Structure 1
Amino acid sequence: MLRAAVREDLHAVAAIYAHHVEHSVATFDLEAPDVAEWDRRFAAIHAAGLPFLVAEQDGAVAGYAYCVPWKSRPAYRWTVENSIYLAPWAVGHGIGDVLLDGLIAGVAEVGVREVIAVVADSGDPASRALHERRGFTEAGRLRRVGYKHGRWLDTVLLQRSLRGEGD
């Protein structure tokens, strides 16, 4: 089940993210934010009018996704960056696809034109493949911009346009 996140979900969101901070390079955070920080982020996303979604499976939060403004300068106001994280037990069940579809629909409703995904090039193709299935294409690569778990990592910028060039 896909739905808008509520503050009561933030403990589960924090736990899912903490797993990725500690065990993966999907995020370049080195320390997991606490629930109070997630509450601040949640409020900022809502204040920006952007979606923050959770997917439930058997009554538990299986994953979450949200968009934030790409940059703070006003000319970027029609561009967002997306983030999607799944609980370890929820990987491989199509939940990422459901979350990304929900995000794309949600940001299209509020007039967003461009969605950017910043994907760590860790050797695991799952995140990139998820985005490419939904029409994202590579827009660039930033080489050796992150250092985590003893290795330098590239990020790949993927982009999806929600409107035509003349719109």
Structure 2
Amino acid sequence: MSSPAFRIEPATPADARAIASIYAHHVARGTATYDVEPRSVVATAALISEHQAKGWPFLAARAPDGGVAGYAYASQFRPRAAYAWACEDSIYVAPSQQGCGVGRMLLDTLLTAAAEAGFRTMVAVIGGGEPASVALHAACGFAHAGRLTGMGWKHGRWLDTVYMQRALGVGTASPPQ
């Protein structure tokens, strides 16, 4: 069920405490991230600021009460220059907001924002092969690009990593600007 009451807008360093809290939940209880220690509020604020400085999207989903219901961002896939047009997405939703359409709203908006930032392809690196994340990305036009087995050890088990990919804008139909 989707709620039009949610707003998607650029995150600011003032959102760092709420975003760090959402991430901490996923670090402690989930397999979507292979982090085993949550990111601090200071490190989260720095990550948001770094994205702003580079012109990369970092979005927050706002609940009707103004609180952060989830967040998403796109970062250059790898640091080498040839990867400048490829990005990786990260999306995390507050546990109380899962199943409300927040992830879909975030990813739809992130796809547009990443294309506007100059990225030509987006890669989803899905830790644990999380079925909900695979389904979300597939619903947004991502195609399966590979699976790496046993890439992480968390919560007492080996985890696979699923790769999915989607073109942005004109994709690879023309050289980058």
TM bucket by the smaller chain? over 0.9
Question: Which residue number corresponds to residue 84 of structure 1?
Answer: 91
In 2, the alpha carbon distance for the partners of 1:164 and 1:6 equals 29
**Stretches (4+) displaced over 3 A:** none
Cα distance, 1:164 vs structure 2:
4.3
C-alpha distance in 1, partners of 2:28/2:95? 12
Aligned to 2:159: 153
Percent identity between the aligned chains?
Answer: 46
Matches within 5 A, 1:63-82: 63-82=70-89
User: 2:149 touches 2:160 (CA, 8 Å); kept in 1?
Assistant: yes
Letter in 2 for 1:73: R
- Where do 1:88-107 residues align within 5 Å? 88-107=95-114
Partner of 1:32: 38
Q: 2:125 aligns with which of 118, 121, 130?
A: 118
- 2:88 is paired with a residue whose SS is strand
Measured in 1, the distance between the counterparts of 2:21 and 2:44 equals 11
Give the corresponding residue for 1:10. 16
How far the C-alpha of 1:37 sits from its partner, in A, is 0.8
- In structure 1, what residue type is equivalent to 2:132? A
State the shift of 1:121 in Å: 3.3
SS across alignment from 1:41: helix
Residue 42 of structure 2 aligns to a residue whose secondary structure is helix
CA distance in 2, matches of 1:126, 1:136: 13
Amino acid at match of 1:117: A
For structure 1, the 5+ residue unaligned runs are none
Match of 1:21 in 2: 27
1:34-64 per-position Cα deviation (integer Å, ceiling 9, x unaligned) = 1111122112212221100000112211000
Length-normalised TM-score, structure 2? 0.90
- Separation (CA, whole Å) in 1 of partners of 2:119 and 2:171: 12
Q: What SS is found at the alignment partner of 1:84?
A: strand
Deviation string, structure 1 residues 130-152 (Cα, Å, up to 9, x no partner): 00011001111111010000000
- Inter-partner Cα distance in structure 1 for 2:47 and 2:73: 10
Structure 2 counterpart of 1:11, which letter? R
SS in 1 for 2:79: coil
**One-letter code of the match for 1:158?**
M
Give the paired residue count: 166
The amino acid across from 1:22 in the alignment is A
Letter in 1 for 2:31: V
Where in structure 2 are there 5+ consecutive unaligned residues?
1-6
Correspondence 1:57 to 2:27: no
